[in-house]
Structure 1
Amino acid sequence: MLVQIGTLIAATSLVQLANGFFNTFLSLRLTTENFGPTLTGIVLSAYFIGFSIGAVGSGAIIQRIGHIRAYAAFAGMVVVGTAGMALFVSPLGWILCRMAIGTGCVGLFITTESWLNAKAPADQRGRIFSIYMVGTFLALAAGQLLIGKLPIVSLTPFFIIIALFALALMMVSATRAEAPALAPEASLPYGELTRQAPVSVIGCIVSGIVTSAFYALVPAWMARNDIPQATIALFMLVAVLGGFAFQVPVGKVSDRGDRRVVLAGLAIGFAVAAILIQLVPPRLVFVLPIAALLGGFMSTLYPVCVAHALDRMPQDRVVAVSGRLILVSGIGSALGPILGAQVMGQLDINGLLYFMAAAAIALAAVAGLRIRHRAPPEQMAERPFAIIDPLAAPISQEPEATDADGTPRPLPT
């Protein structure tokens, strides 16, 4: 059993290694294609559009054909999309391919996480999911290191990405693990979620906007200004590691008080860091610590939003809340590169940073207003906070959705 679980975690780490490299690589590659700001933004947003589509439909596919076949189908979709980008260099072709890649990636994450959730022993689930998320974070970080080692204007990066996804598929396809069943999901209208936890909904949108804009557009600006690839890779690596370092401390703080206060503090901290990085001398000794702060603040916005929403909703809505919020975040993520590219095209990198800072300040203002008008919940959610990486949030079943043997629990009546 543990060998099978280890295989799933290792395969997902390979997927995230490819994903972390792919996102930054594409941002740099687009600077050489002359698509223009609008089309560049749409290409970068297409992944998140596909991600949102997959978040809605992947569960039904898994239930219909099973986990192993679904994993193979989703991995195949990613491989075909990546190969298509290598073969057909055009705005429309890349938009369609990135949508397919986003849909396939979210399917891989849902398949893996629901599989892990069902097969992990009940008394070890927390540790297993912690190892899983640490692995994905470190793989995302390692993906940035490849940026400084490979030529951007060549087919080599595409081949490496395809090989990593194919290797993950081989590992999972060879496992003997039985395919688990998915738990039933309680219905949750978006209107009810918005009424009960408006700060979470707005926060997920803002989190999606600033995170996708940062990871998609900042490397592109650095490349256009002739900053060496190795320096770009180091900057992005520090941002990812900053996000990882913030997860546990922020989680502990948010579990002890009103999460809206924590959310407002994170948003203000991000805005201050986004402004500060424009004021310091352009030297790594000054810029890298601020990159870590930017990564830390923005990567913890989403998990705090999810935790706050879970505080406001009944226990049987845990799965539904997670699914709704990842879709909301996906919409924000799709908007981020499009809006950010337009702003950066007019006002350069300073405009982009001020745009992201303004979005964060707006979130802090909304959180402050809600703090004044509504008291915090008397009881926190039983599973209040989870480590979530900035580019691929866990969106599948929660551990509470199944029994120790992986059997889906019936919904409360």
Structure 2
Amino acid sequence: MSAQIGVLVFATSLIQLANGFFGTFISLRIALADFGASLSGLVLSSYFAGFTVGALRCERIIGRVGHIRAYAAFAGMVVAATSIMPLWQEPLAWLTLRAIIGFGCSGLFITTESWLNAKAEPTQRGRIFSIYMLGTFLALALGQLLIGQVDVETAKPFNGIAALFAVALVFVSTTRAEPPRKTVTTALPFTRLPRTAPVAVAGCMVSGLLSASFYSLVPAWMQGEGIARETIALFMLIAVLGGLAFQVPVGRLSDRFDRRLVLAILSLGFALTAIIVINLPHTRPVVLTAAALLGGFMSTLYPVCVANAHDQMPADQVVAVSGQLILISGVGSVIGPLVGTIVMAHFSIDGLFYFMGAVALLLSGTAMAGRALVTEPAHQERTFEILSPQAAPLAHDQIDPL
């Protein structure tokens, strides 16, 4: 692996370290600010909205100004917005700033991954992206541990996050850029994918909804219950590591069996875990086991859906299909915290878990119904991708949704 690729992987790990910490930290900070259920949901959802818009638009910026300048612009955007947040603690201001941060993070990931694609030899690409995603998961996990080490009421966490993004910018801006290879794509009418792969479309929507609801709202509730921040950090860490542990075995199962059956089992597993944990004693072994299972089930929904969609679409529309799935997942990520905060305001954490469990159960039924009505498509020769939790999957392909 060349030094340039190593720099890109290291810089992205720094960004994901900041992101992993930021996602949980902002949930706790918004709860302390007491914005109210509706405004809290909007602020938490705004990051995913900005990320989704960025995933659809940032490639044009990269093509116009080049990789290093685009990376500097996106990183500067995130650093500036993060630095302003402790100075302007109003709901609408934070909503706007979090959307800007989401847009900037999307641009950073797309810049990095298109750059990696340009530098990596075809025979090394799988290994390089495996290292890249392993670094992503480990950095996200480490970010959770920082929650127990900082005072979330002060401006210091914002300063630390901005510093990590700035350090990543320093590393990347001192390496040489190489433009990515151009790919030829064909247009895909937006109505075709839901008609051809309805289960995959539903699964991507649910995946975004569940992940955003879980990672945005559960830490805030735990803090409100007076649970120590070290325990919150451990819970979120176990959820991220559970997601990593599930990737390879689920990938192998999805390549061997009907992906819709695998999707149905994963979503059913999530639903049962969410419902059972509510009704069991909340001892540490029970809660941490549930965190690992929930993280594992929900983090593998998206890649299984992506693989299922590509099984049913022509090879020359891979990029267009990925773009539309990204958009659908992003919409789910916006909806999740919005609805989840309202549910929590009326029914506390039990209501949130019942809500997520019901949505997952509905997906399981949809997948089984699709399997009963439509013959399984042939599996395409496509490597199962390890995708990170939260919104990071949005950056995995160059985008041309329409």
Q: Same fold (TM over 0.5)?
A: yes
Residue deviations 1:106-157, cap 9 Å, x none? 1111111111011101111000000000000100000000000000100000
**Structure 2 residue aligned with 1:381:** 380
Instruction: Identify which range, 171-180 or 133-142, moves more after superposition.
Output: 171-180
Per-residue deviation, 1:181: 4.3
**Number of residue-to-residue matches in the alignment:** 398
Q: Is the CA contact (8 Å cut-off) linking 2:11 and 2:171 kept in structure 1?
A: yes
Per-residue deviation, 1:237: 0.2
Residue deviations 1:312-371, cap 9 Å, x none? 111111111111111110000001000000000000000000000000011111111111
**Structure 2 residue aligned with 1:94:** 94
Q: Is the CA contact (8 Å cut-off) linking 1:54 and 1:107 kept in structure 2?
A: yes
Q: Is the CA contact (8 Å cut-off) linking 2:50 and 2:100 kept in structure 1?
A: yes
Per-residue deviation, 1:80: 1.2
**Structure 2 residue aligned with 1:203:** 203
- 1:381, 1:118 → 2: CA distance? 24
**Structure 1 residue aligned with 2:395:** 395
**Structure 2 residue aligned with 1:148:** 148
Q: Which amino acid aligns with 1:385?
A: F
Alignment of 1:3-402 (within 5 A): 3-378=3-378, 380-391=379-390, 392-393=392-393, 395-397=395-397
Q: Which amino acid aligns with 1:235?
A: F
- 2:87, 2:28 → 1: CA distance? 18
Q: Is the CA contact (8 Å cut-off) linking 1:67 and 1:179 kept in structure 2?
A: yes
Per-residue deviation, 1:184: 3.5
Instruction: Identify which range, 226-235 or 169-178, moves more after superposition.
Output: 169-178
- 2:10, 2:182 → 1: CA distance? 22
- 1:34, 1:383 → 2: CA distance? 46
Q: Which amino acid aligns with 2:264?
A: A
Alpha-carbon distance change, 125 to 134 in structure 1, aligned in 2, over 3 angstroms: same
Alpha-carbon distance change, 319 to 59 in structure 1, aligned in 2, over 3 angstroms: same
Residue deviations 1:61-119, cap 9 Å, x none? 11111111111111111111111212110000000000000000011111111110111
Q: Is the CA contact (8 Å cut-off) linking 2:79 and 2:162 kept in structure 1?
A: yes
- 1:23, 1:84 → 2: CA distance? 17
Q: TM-score, normalised by structure 1?
A: 0.95
- 1:346, 1:394 → 2: CA distance? 31
Q: Is the CA contact (8 Å cut-off) linking 2:118 and 2:179 kept in structure 1?
A: no
| 1:154 partner SS | coil
Alpha-carbon distance change, 284 to 7 in structure 1, aligned in 2, over 3 angstroms: same
- 1:182, 1:95 → 2: CA distance? 35
For structure 1, the 5+ residue unaligned runs are 402-413
Q: Is the CA contact (8 Å cut-off) linking 2:330 and 2:394 kept in structure 1?
A: no
Q: TM-score, normalised by structure 2?
A: 0.97
Per-residue deviation, 1:30: 0.9
| 1:122 partner SS | coil
- 2:219, 2:397 → 1: CA distance? 33
- 2:396, 2:24 → 1: CA distance? 26
Alpha-carbon distance change, 119 to 394 in structure 1, aligned in 2, over 3 angstroms: farther
Q: Which runs of 4+ in 1 moved over 6 A?
A: none
- 1:319, 1:299 → 2: CA distance? 21
Instruction: Identify which range, 171-180 or 251-260, moves more after superposition.
Output: 171-180
Per-residue deviation, 1:185: 2.8
Q: Is the CA contact (8 Å cut-off) linking 2:144 and 2:234 kept in structure 1?
A: yes
| 1:272 partner SS | helix
Q: Is the CA contact (8 Å cut-off) linking 1:388 and 1:394 kept in structure 2?
A: no
| 1:246 partner SS | helix
**Structure 2 residue aligned with 1:411:** none
| 1:190 partner SS | coil
Alpha-carbon distance change, 266 to 94 in structure 1, aligned in 2, over 3 angstroms: same
For structure 2, the 5+ residue unaligned runs are none
- 1:99, 1:55 → 2: CA distance? 13
Per-residue deviation, 1:394: 5.2
Per-residue deviation, 1:251: 0.2
Per-residue deviation, 1:182: 4.0
Residue deviations 1:28-73, cap 9 Å, x none? 0111101000000000000000011101101111111111111111
- 1:74, 1:312 → 2: CA distance? 35
Q: Is the CA contact (8 Å cut-off) linking 2:267 and 2:301 kept in structure 1?
A: yes
Per-residue deviation, 1:4: 0.2
Residue deviations 1:231-263, cap 9 Å, x none? 000000000000000000000000011100000
Q: Which amino acid aligns with 1:210?
A: L
Percent identity between matched residues is: 58
**Structure 2 residue aligned with 1:408:** none
Alpha-carbon distance change, 385 to 182 in structure 1, aligned in 2, over 3 angstroms: same
Per-residue deviation, 1:396: 4.2
| 1:32 partner SS | helix
Question: What is the RMSD computed on CA atoms of the aligned residues?
Answer: 1.2
